Every structure is written in C-alpha cells, then in structure tokens.
Amino acid sequence: MNSRVEPATPDREWLRRAVLVLRAPRAVFAALRDDSDEMAHARQEAVLALLWLAGIAGVLGSSVARTLLDDPTRDGLVVAVWAFIGGGLYGALGFWLGGALLHAGVRAFGGQGTYRRSRHLVAFAGAPIALSLLVLWPIGVAAFGGDLFRSGGSDAGAGGDAFFWSALAFGVWALALLALGIRVVQSWTWGRSLGALAVAAAPLVLVALVHELV
C-alpha cells in the first residue's frame, strides 16, 4: 500500500503557527520576517482567526459586558451574538489601529518593515488573548453562569476578582509576546524593543488617563 504524506500548504503552516506561537514564539516571529505577498496572503486565515477570537475575549472582558444581563429582556443568546459581532469589530480595531501604532513605534526607533507586517505581528502576539476565550471563559461561565454579565452577581466576590485578574494575565502575556516579536523581527536589543513598544502604547495610555480624569 502506497501512502504519501502531502506537504503542508503555506496556509495550513500559518494556521499551525497561530497555535505554535504560544510555546515557540521566536520561530513564529522569525517567520514573519518574510513579508512577501505570497506569505502575507498565506497567513490571512490565521490572522483573521486570532483577531476574531481575541476580539471576542476583549469585549467579554469589558465593563459593558458585565452589565448586559441587567436588562431582563436580554438572554444568553443576545450576549453571544453581541460578543461575536463586537469581537469582530474589536479585533479589526486592534488590527488596524494597533498595527499603525506599532508601526509608528518601530519607525521611531529606526526599524524597517511594512505596516502590513506590523499588523500581522499584532495579530500573532494576541494569541494568548484568543486562548483565554477557549480556556478561561468556559471556566468562568461554568462557575458563575450569567452572573458574569450581570451587576452584583455571584462573581462580585473574591472568585470573580480572581477570574478577571486571570483574564488580565493573558493580556500581559500578549504584551510580553509583542515585545518579543518586535525584538525578533527587527533583530534588536530588549531596550530598543521595549522603547518602540512604549512609543506605540503611549497614545492608548494617554487616552485612558484622559478618560479617567473626565
């Protein structure tokens, strides 16, 4: 019997790397150096999947989500549809705006590369947030049910605080991956990489501070 293993296509290889970036990020970020049209097209499916999953996790962790079921006319289906649509929009915002800020930060420190590569770096660095949707949120829903999306529910105590701190930890992981990604793609020192990341994050921090003051 003649069995032949078909070689993985570039598209499938990048889908595999969307998972691999969680445990072997250096190899994945090194592959991002190839920004040819062929490779950029091949990673589109992986980028879309990562952005949408991370976007859904992001909107579910927002303050708006925590009050969705305060209105008795809403149910779990409404939350699911809201999260799916909102996650797509949130992921797109992170892709275009986050990519633009990262590109500006890298350029400020003399980095090379295209805006497209910066966007794709943001997408792959967001893999931990995408993972939180598949791992952390099912645990939270099992533990607290609809109270996660309701004011003053069972998640209002220490257990709920621990859950949302865990969600924040996935975000910190993503930031660490982004810093590593800048370092690997640009072949920089840690200091230069963190400087570029700080410049990229500065407008977001400023907006958050203004929001708090207002």
- The pLDDT of residue 155 is 65
pLDDT in tens, 72-98: 899 989 999 999 999 999 999 999 999
- The pLDDT of residue 152 is 76
- The pLDDT of residue 211 is 62
- The pLDDT of residue 160 is 76
The amino acid sitting at 42 is: A
Q: Which residue stretches of 4-148 are H helix? A: 10-20, 25-31, 37-42, 44-60, 76-93, 99-108, 115-125, 127-144
Pair of tokens at residue 200: 């990229």
pLDDT in tens, 107-132: 999 999 999 999 999 999 999 999 99
Per-residue pLDDT of the chain (214 residues; tens, 9 = 90+): 455 555 679 999 999 999 999 999 999 999 999 999 999 999 999 999 999 999 999 999 888 988 899 898 999 899 999 999 999 999 999 999 999 999 999 999 999 999 999 999 999 999 999 999 999 999 888 888 888 888 876 766 667 778 888 989 999 999 999 999 999 999 999 999 999 999 999 998 888 777 667 6
CA distance 214 to 201: 20
> Which candidate, 176, 144, 151, places its Cα nearest to that of 63?
151
Let me know: does 83 contact 60? Beta carbons within 8 Å: yes
Residue 106 sits at φ, ψ, to 5 deg, of -65, -45
Pair of tokens at residue 60: 């579910």
